[in-house]
Amino acid sequence: VQLQASGGGLVQAGDTLRLSCAAAEHTFSLNNVAWFRQAPGREREFVAAIRTGDTNRYYADSVKDRFTISRDMAKNSVHLQMNRMKPEDTALYYCAAKLHRPISSALRFADTYTYWGQGTQVTVSS
């Protein structure tokens, strides 16, 4: 699965942005997908995840109630809606996917995922 992340840009604090993660393969809809981010000088961190057959959505505490992850079956993509953005959201955002459904406790670990996109830059100015 080749993932293509898009939608990054430069916004001001309080603005919204929507990231998309798409793949050409029809099997992408069967994948469990997550967003991670990495700021300069920091480790890659979990942001949000969506699991097949699971109505729950999983978020890092730092983005809960501001970000929403969703799947668009018609467009074979997964979106990350980011609201009320903060300067600390500035990072390179990656989408990742795994075919076989992981246990929920594993969703926030980068090693869980098999496929990775190239990253899209998000910059939030204060």
Q: What is the pLDDT of residues 86-116, one digit of tens each?
A: 999 999 999 999 999 999 999 999 999 999 9
pLDDT of 34: 97
Higher pLDDT, 25 or 84: 84
Residue 49 DSSP class:
E
Task: Give the per-residue pLDDT at 99.
Answer: 93
Residue 85's contacts (CB-CB under 8 Å, 6 or more residues apart) are: 11, 13, 14, 15, 16, 17, 66, 122, 124
- CA neighbours within 13 Å on the CB side: how many for 33? 28
Residue 124 phi, psi (nearest 5): -115, 120
**Residues contacting residue 63 through CB under 8 Å, at least 6 positions apart:** 47, 48, 82, 89
pLDDT band at 73 (very low <50, low <70, confident <90, very high): confident
Contact assessment for residue 36 and residue 94, using Cβ atoms and an 8 Å cutoff = yes
> Residue 26: its pLDDT value, please?
80
Residue 28 has pLDDT above 90, yes or no: no
> Does the structure show a pLDDT above 90 at 29?
no
